[in-house]
Structure 1
Amino acid sequence: MRKAFKLLIGFSVLASLVGCGEKHFLEDKVFAGGVYAPKAALNKGKSIYTEYCMACHGVNGDGHGVAAKGLQVPPRDFTKGVFKFGQVPTGELPHDGDFYKILKEGLHGTAMLPWDLTHDQMFAVVQYIKTFAPAVWEGKDKKLGTAIVVTKDPYGPAHESSAIQRGKEVYHAVANCQSCHRAYVGHKEFSDINLKVNGEKVTDFDPDMYKIKMQETEWGFKSMPPEFTWDFVRSATTVQDLYIRLNAGVGGTAMPSWKDTISDEDVWAVAHYVKYLMDLKNTPARKALMDSISK
C-alpha cells in the first residue's frame, strides 16, 4: 500500500512538471530586430533545449549544466546575452542565421557538436535561448547588429603567395596580432617586416612574442587564443570564415573587430595568412617553421 502511494505521488509530481513545462510560456514575445516568437515556438524550444542543450548549458542557461565540469571549454552562459561568434561586429546582437550556423556546424575543438535540426526546430530553440537574457533581447526597440558583408577576395588563388606575404606583414607589424597570439617569424624577419611597413627596424624584442597570452573574458574566466599552426579555430575553417571572424571579432573577449580599423584588402590578406598557418598542422613544414624561428 505504501509503495503504491509513493508511486502515485511520483507520477503526480511528474505529470505536474510536464504540464508546467508545456504551459511555461503563455504569451508570444517580440525580440530584437522585430523577430516574433509565438508561445508555441517558445515552448517547443524549451523542450528541444531540455533534451539536447541543458546537460551542458544548464537549466537556467548559465553554462552550469551537469556535464559542464567535465568540459575543457566551458559551455556558453546565455544569461549574459554575449555571443562570441556572431557575424556582426563584436558587442552587437547577432542575427538568427548566426545561431543557425553554429547549430549546424558546431564549434571546432569544443563539445558543441553539429546538430541535425530542422529550420523550425532551430528557430524555436534559438528564441528560447534568448529568454535567458530578457533585458538584452526582449522588445521591438532592440536592434540587431550590422551583418558582415563578404566582399570579393582581391587576391584569389592566382595571387595566394602575395596574399600570404602581405598577411604576414599586417599580422606582425600593423595589427600586432602577436600581442595576444604569437609571432611566426624570427627576430631578423620581424625587424625587416617592421622596417618595410613602419620605416624602422626593431632591435628590442618582446621576450613573450613567441608565447600565447591568456586573455580576460566577460564570463569571469580567462581564455587562451589559438596557436594557429596547432589549435582549432573554433568558428572558421576557410579563408572566407576567417575574413568574417576578423571583421566581426570574438564577442566577450579581447579579440576586436578589425572592420574599418585596417583596410578590407588587408583583412583578406590576414585571412589568407592565418589559413596558411592552419594548414601547417601535422606537416613537416610546421616543424621547419618552428625550427627556423628558434634559431
Structure 2
Amino acid sequence: MEIDILRRLSDIKNKPALVAFVLIILYISPASLMENCFFSQDRFDGEGIHGIVLDIISGPKESHAQAPRRKSGRELMNEWLSGETLPVNFKNQRPPEDKIAIEAGRGIYIYRCAVCHGIKGDGKGERAKELQTRPRDFTFGIFKFRSTPTGAPPTDEDIFKTISRGIHGTGMLPWFALTTTQRWLVTYYIKTFSDYYTFYYEDGQKPVVVKTPEPSMSEKKYIELGKTVYIKGECAKCHGKEGYGDGDSAGKLKDDWYQPIRPTNFRKSVPKRGLEPADIYMTIATGLNGTPMPSYSASLTHDEMLGLAYYIRSIAPRNENKGEIDINQDTQAAFQIDHMMGISFQIPERFAYPW
C-alpha cells in the first residue's frame, strides 16, 4: 500500500503540499493515528489511514466484505510473552526491493527503530542506554538469528522474521504494530547500513539456507537423546548442568564487541527465537554470529541437534505455566520506551505503564 502511494506520488508534479501531506500521514503521523491504523491485527494487513490517502489520490474504491476477526495486539503480545511463536507471512504484501522501497523503509526506521538502534544504525539510539542488552549495530552486518551457516549474513526473510516476532528476553519486541509491507520496507533499509551483504555474495551466489529436518522418532525419545547430547555438547559449561545459565564460564563470556553476555537460563526464560523445536534447532545448527554460541552442525547429527532442541523445550517454562516465565528488565524497559514514544502495543495488564 505505502509503495503504491509513493509510486503514484512520483508521477504527481507541482503538488508539493499534497506530497508533503501524504508523507506525513504515512511516516510521521501522530501516535493516535498510528495506533488506530496499526495496533489491531484486524487492521494488520488492512489499509487504515493509507486507504484514505489513496482515495484522495485515485478516488473511492469499491467496498469489500469485512474480513474475519483476527487476534488483537494485546492477545498477540500476551502470547509472545508466554513463549508462543507468532505466525509470519513472508509472501503477503512483499514489495519489490528498489530505491523507492528503501527510502520508504528509511522513514519508518527513523520513526520506529532509531530510538534504540540509532539514526546511523550503530546501536547508539538515545534510549539504548536503558537496555542491558545492546541494540544490534547494523553497520557490521552481523546478525545472531539467521537460517544461514555460521559467519554468513541473514536472508531477507530472517530479518523480516526478527522484526515480526521480536527476540525473547531482550528489548526487541515483536513489531506487529507495523503492517506486513512496512516490515519488508524496514528490512530492505536495514541492509543498507553494511556492505557485508554485497561483499559476501559478490559473485551473485544466493544464500544457503539451513533446513530443519523432519522428526524421525517420538518427542519422548528425542528428549531422552537430548539429555545425553546436552552433556556431549558441553552445554553445561555455559548454561549450567540443570540449564539455569550458571555454568563455570557463564560470568566470563563476552561478545565480539567485548560486551558481557549471559547464556540463556532455560529454566526461567523463553529461548530467544521461541519455544518451537524448529527455532531452537536453528540456533544450535547455525550458532549466533557475534557471540560465543557456536554452530554445532559439524559436531552433532541432525537428530542430535533436534533432540537437544526438544530437551531444551522440555525444561523451559511453558505457556500453561505463564507465571514461571521471567520477563526481564530489557523487555519491561522496551514497553516503557514504546509507551513514552506514543507507540501503542496495548501493554498487557501486568506491564501497564507505570508498573
- TM-score normalised by the chain length of structure 1: 0.69
Q: In the TM superposition, what is the alpha-carbon distance from 1:128 to its structure 2 partner?
A: 1.2
| TM-align CA RMSD | 2.8
CA displacement at 1:279 relative to structure 2: 3.2
* Alignment match, 1:54: 114
Provide, for residues 41-78 of structure 1, a one-character-per-residue CA deviation record: whole Å limited to 9, x for no partner.
Answer: 11101101001000000011000000100112111000
Q: Any idea what the Cα deviations from partners look like across 1:172-221, whole Å, max 9, x if unmatched?
A: 1x211112211129xxxxxxxxxxxxxxxxxxxxxx85673442212331
* Aligned: 1:128 with 2:166: no
In 2: Cα distance, 1:235 partner to 1:57 partner: 20
| Counterpart pick for 2:289 among 237, 251, 254 | 251
Mark the runs of 5 or more structure 1 residues left unpaired by the alignment: 1-14, 23-35, 186-207, 287-295
How many residues align? The count is 227
The percent identity for this pair of structures is 33
Mapping for residues 113-262 of structure 1, pairs under 5 Å: 113-116=173-176, 117-137=178-198, 141=203, 143-155=205-217, 159-172=218-231, 174-184=232-242, 209=247, 212-262=250-300
Aligned to 2:311: 273
1:235-291 per-position Cα deviation (integer Å, ceiling 9, x unaligned): 1221121111111111111111111321111111101110011137997xx9xxxxx
SS at match of 2:239: coil
Distance 1:211 1:94, change over 3 A: closer
Q: Distance in 2 between matches of 1:120 and 1:267?
A: 34
Q: Which residue of 1 aligns with 2:149?
A: 89
Per-residue deviation, 1:129: 1.0
Q: Is the 8 A contact 2:146 2:154 kept in 1?
A: yes
> Hey, what's the Cα distance between the residues in 2 that align with 1:253 and 1:142?
28
Distance in 2 separating the partners of 1:38 and 1:209:
47
For 2:210, the aligned partner's letter is: I
Shift of 1:142: 5.8
1:23-54 C-alpha deviation (Å, 9 max, x unpaired): xxxxxxxxxxxxx7321111101101001000
Against the structure 1 CA distance between its residues 142 and 68, is the aligned structure 2 distance closer, same or farther, given a 3 Å change threshold?
Answer: farther
Conservation of the 8 A alpha-carbon contact between 1:45 and 1:124? yes
